[in-house]
Structure 1
């Protein structure tokens, strides 16, 4: 259900960014730059489908950015000098740019050093390496419990003296209370890893990664898959095909529909070289149990029972615990690589930390209170799951600008800015170099992009030739939005050139 934007009120002296704009000279709200407007026209996107705001930002530069010219940007909480404003208060779908709100809130509410703690309990006696009872793995909502860290946790259990379990291995994911959702519900793409649902015990993003390596001597492509997964039959090879690489995935004629086996009925083009194909496991609820079973076996553990879901008994004893990566690293992964499920894990953590159990509604309420405390009367964003993978989430360019300006000053400036992709270097903006190798923005812009079927967006910081740093937010909501990505590049370039 769509949730309307709410205005939160505080002291009378606070102004919304939108009302502050109304008090500025008309020259501050300039027309769209000609090169940006022309690129929009070529994409078939009208200007009334676009929201833009560009302002100088206050405060000292972080270590990762060139210094800001003094005196050109106002303090946080005062009306900003505006370089460009076009429909800045319009409520827009920001797609993955919404992650900026979730990640900055994570840094601000929980701290850069916050970690999630995964715990393993036993509910019976341990004698000579044998547990006469159940081994319980209690998830913490850890956003990045990947293969290597699951393996390390299981080996830690063994190193502490449990090598055989005469009961079951119980997976406790109860830290989050989230409704079951079909993985294809958003866009009818159930096998896309970006559609993975959040989970109190999220193991390896619920995905399999297939690696195809040509072996011309055998006229075969060798197939490797990770992680190991119990009870799933996966072929070791398939035939090679001549000709160009082309649409090699379609040529494999893959069938992932069965939870017990994967089939490739086609051939793999030798011209492709080695390629990877990440695929969401078709039965996501069973994924963690199958992977933990396979990894326990691979580590040399013995299990008389089975791996199943359950909860941690009150009398269970803590056996081992292991912390996640720190918040600073998690936020960097979320923003640079636009990881949807990691963003949702962080979003749910806001309520799990406050209430003991993570729910979407609880986290929405927590973020609304945080927004009111930090941004006063500025219209709050509409949040559903905090990742931008949503048709309901909304924000304005003005609200995102307020967040960027606040984030640019203070102790969180460094970790927040460093979490963004560097234009032409890494993250989702690495390919800007391919589109314009001579761009002034390369290495001088720290950006988060967003894309949905009818949304294209970019937001972050750009250093101009003058040494001035700017915040930039541009949101496009239109059927032709993705054709307008070059227009967003043009806007970033215009800011970088201080035109």
Structure 2
């Protein structure tokens, strides 16, 4: 790689980083082919991650659970099924923390059309030979705690992201409606409660594989999925029951620290201002992720500039369009209700590909930029400079 080209890149990045309109800036750029950091500006100072937190949640979930992991919604009965196909008792829905469960429309809107649906529950009930339920449908969301923070409407059993104070009951009500539409009548009052010990397993509805579930979390910066994954980690890794956001965030932070990334993470999504990381630690984490067996699933969860997710309208018709994959992070100024809302912080962390392995990993973090336009325009100029360098011979 030409030293002249490198010096040019460094001049261009430094000019952006020291521009007072950019606010307080930290930048780290790593050249994979050379195995070294090629640019650094206040890269060791921790800053607010915002939704950059999601790359750590996604990475920890892939590592601990595996890309083929599937959450299970289990169907139980506390009565016998007679010769006419009537379940003489209640049908229990035990939530396994599937964030995708909902209607077909919900699947299209939130999960790129890859999700488990109420019709999957109907299929499982019918495979068990049930044509009618003499009792009620009861939702069990006890896998996760009922704390609504930080996103609201969380629980071990949700349907369409849950509504109301009791999301497990809402899920049971929604699925009862789907069952009735399929001709499976129910008689009892829908409610929530735990599966009794003497219940019999009727069937299982499995979520899409984790490699698919994480795509909206990364590309669209989906807070709900990210927080559900954090609580899933609390259950699966720490054995906590019910799983909590606090423990899930501890699992994520420990996984990152074990791989050389010193982060402070208190939730799965980055909604809290207390989530912080230094740009160099974010890049260190990317270095680890692109070398893992699940690297393809991880990188596929990042938004593609000019194409999809939170980057669909950025970098279009430039050298980065359809090439750079990255995760955005944004906190708005509290109390700002103006039509053009100002940033408390703005971040862009990702991968800039080049030929023959000359890939660059980068993290740009800004706090208190002068304006939304200033922050985003500067980030795009910096990424274009990196792309020009990576593509140069």
Match of 1:488 in 2: 379
* Aligned partner of residue 79 in structure 2, secondary structure: coil
Aligned with 1:298 (options 181, 186, 200):
181
Are the equivalent residues in 2 in contact too, given 1:451–1:482 (CA < 8 A)?
no
Structure number with greater Rg is 1
Identify the residue that residue 296 of structure 2 maps to in structure 1.
414
Pick from 314, 326, 331 the counterpart of residue 452 of structure 1.
331
Please state whether the residue corresponding to 2:277 is helix, strand or coil. coil
Runs of 5+ in structure 2 lacking a partner? 1-6, 105-116, 333-343
Q: Deviations over 1:367-416 (max 9, x none)?
A: 343234332xx42x111211112222111111111110111223222211
CA distance in 2, matches of 1:142, 1:122: 20
Name the residue aligned to 1:341: 224
Deviations 1:44-80 (A, max 9, x none): 333xx111111112xxxxxxxxxxxxxx332xxxxxx
402 and 481 in structure 1: CA distance in 2 versus 1, 3 angstrom threshold: farther
Matches within 5 A, 1:144-293: 144-148=100-104, 149-181=117-149, 195-206=151-162, 285=167, 287-293=170-176
Check whether the contact 2:330–2:347 (CA below 8 A) recurs between aligned residues: yes
Question: In structure 1, how many angstroms separate the alpha carbons of the residues matched to 2:213 and 2:125?
Answer: 25
SS of the equivalent of 1:315 reads: coil
Structure 2 partner of 1:98: 53
Distance (whole Å) between structure 2 residues aligned to residue 467 and residue 303 of structure 1 = 60
Residue 99 of structure 2 is matched in structure 1 by 143
Instruction: Return the offset for 1:298.
Output: 1.3
Question: In the alignment, which residue of structure 2 is the partner of 1:33?
Answer: 13
Instruction: Please state how far the C-alpha of 1:423 moved relative to its aligned partner.
Output: 1.5
Cα distance in 1 for residues equivalent to 2:164 and 2:156: 19
Corresponding residue pairs, total: 356
Secondary structure (helix, strand or coil) at the match of 1:292 reads helix
Tell me, in whole angstroms, the C-alpha distance in 2 between the residues paired with 1:348 and 1:409. Answer: 26
Q: Distance in 1 between matches of 2:370 and 2:123?
A: 51
Indicate how the Cα distance of structure 1 residues 349 and 459 shifts in structure 2: closer, same or farther if over 3 A, else same: same
1:497 aligns with one of 377, 385, 388: 388
Q: Larger deviation: 312-321 or 123-132?
A: 123-132
Question: How high is the TM-score relative to the length of structure 2?
Answer: 0.84
Q: Residue 85 of structure 1 aligns with which residue?
A: 40
Contact 2:287 2:361 in 1 (8 A): yes
Matched, 1:400 2:282: yes
Indicate if the aligned counterparts of 2:264 and 2:275 stay in contact, CA closer than 8 A: yes
Q: Deviations over 1:433-455 (max 9, x none)?
A: 44xx2x11112211111222012
What residue in structure 2 maps to residue 134 of structure 1? 90
Q: Secondary structure in 2 aligned to 1:497?
A: helix
1-structure distance, mates of 2:148, 2:297: 33
Which residue in 1 is equivalent to 2:70? 115
Q: Residue 82 of structure 1: SS of its match in structure 2? A: strand
Inter-partner Cα distance in structure 2 for 1:282 and 1:124? 29
Where structure 1 has 5 or more consecutive residues not aligned to the other structure, the ranges are 1-26, 58-71, 75-80, 187-194, 207-280
SS of 1:457's partner is: strand
Q: Are residues 1:427 and 2:294 paired?
A: no
Do the aligned partners of residues 490 and 447 (structure 1) sit closer, same or farther apart at CA in structure 2, a change above 3 Å counting? same
CA positional deviation for 1:292: 2.1
Between the aligned partners of 1:444 and 1:306, the Cα distance in structure 2 is 53
SS in 1 for 2:161: helix
